[in-house]
Amino acid sequence: MNVESVTLRRIRMPLKKPFVTHAGSVKERELIIIETADCEGTTGYGEVTAFSTPFYTAETITTAWHMLTDIFLPAVHWADISHPKELPDRLSGFQGNQMAKAGLEASLWDLYAKQKNVSLSKLIGGTREAVETGVVISLTDDLEDVLEGYLQEGYQRFKVKVNKYDEKKMLLKIQELSQGIPLMIDGNGVYQQEDLSHLKALDELHLQMIEQPFRPGDFYLHQTLQKEMDTPVCLDESISSYDDAFQALSMDSCRIINIKASRVGGLSEAIAIHDLCVESNVPVWCGGMVESGISRAHNIALASLPGFSIPGDISSSSRFWERDLIQPEVFVEKGSIAVPEKPGIGFNIDYEYLDYITTESFTFHK
């Protein structure tokens, strides 16, 4: 691939309004943007989507910056890299740090697709010209206001952040306003064994799924709930690798898997999990991380694979940002996003804005 340099930019993007879950409120999004350049000046872009604090995974933006600058970039023999899928093996000796690995690999995938003059979607075997999309409803959203706008944009699935034990009231209100749009809740691991009966009682709401009710890695409780519940259980944080997905499916711990390339260590692992789920007749969908348009563009390519049969969390750029890092910005029309046909991720970078919001930068030369 003739990699010449890798540049990291630590940025802060102000959100249009705070995004609130049970774990807290996010008012501005800290991210790492990775630019990998070859000897001819072609550039590929990736994004590290860890959060500033370890409420979602153990990784943070600060730990990812350290791992990339001090360990990963110097450890790779860049002259020997001929394909992005080789990077995970080169970094396999380092435990965890999936989001740092994913962001670096993503920049290679974008670069490689541009070198081959093909869209990232087509490069990885995508078959869709457009991907169906859903949207996340935050705890602080004014339901009547946001639902009207989401319905006009045509979002095809609503994912609801809920307060434990107060789910039913909120869900009934949304069902009343949502005109029959499929509805799911995101547990984010806040439930415990004593909540099994409470969760089973939510069957009467006929939800599309309940995502990650128990803590990450607890395949047993998810298995127990799924055996006793008609509503499909979906796993998110529990799936950080292909092996996790294999274990979850082998134990019947879920009927749906949310695939986030950043959570599983990169696009290569995400594709492997997708293929496993297709073989197992388990539907998958593409989750979101309140990311910039760069990561969103990678998600669009991933969601174009045939197994992604459930609308993903790939909303319009305007859902979170007054101004995104890509041009044109991601736009939802009639509940779908067009899959770019241009080489790589298919979007241009807004360099002026990227420079404006960069707080720190680092360049590694091979």
Angle at 92 between CA 78 and CA 263, to 5 degrees: 100
Residue type, 188: N
Contacts of 149 (CB under 8 A, 6+ apart): none
267/259 Cα distance (integer angstroms)? 10
User: Please, where are the H alpha helices in 119-203?
Assistant: 120-123, 143-153, 167-177, 196-200
Report the candidate in 353, 352, 346, 337 with the shortest Cα–Cα distance to residue 304.
Answer: 337
Q: Is the dihedral of CA 360, 58, 187, 101 positive or negative?
A: positive
Which phi and psi angles does 316 have, rounded to 5°?
-60, 155
- The catalytically annotated residue of 260, 334, 342, 366 is 260
Contacts of 176 (CB under 8 A, 6+ apart): none
* Burial of residue 259, with CB atoms counted within 10 A of its CB: 0-12 exposed, 13-18 middle, 19 or more buried: buried
114 is catalytic: no
Report the candidate in 258, 166, 252 with the shortest Cα–Cα distance to residue 211.
Answer: 258
- Chain CA centroid to CA 136, Å: 12
Contacts of 66 (CB under 8 A, 6+ apart): none
Which phi and psi angles does 294 have, rounded to 5°?
-65, -50
Q: Is the dihedral of CA 339, 321, 112, 92 positive or negative?
A: negative
Residue 169 to residues 128, 159, 209, 235, 333, Cα–Cα distance (Å): 37, 15, 17, 24, 30
161 is catalytic: yes
- The catalytically annotated residue of 27, 161, 164, 342 is 161
Q: Determine the length of the chain.
A: 366
Catalytic residues: 161, 260
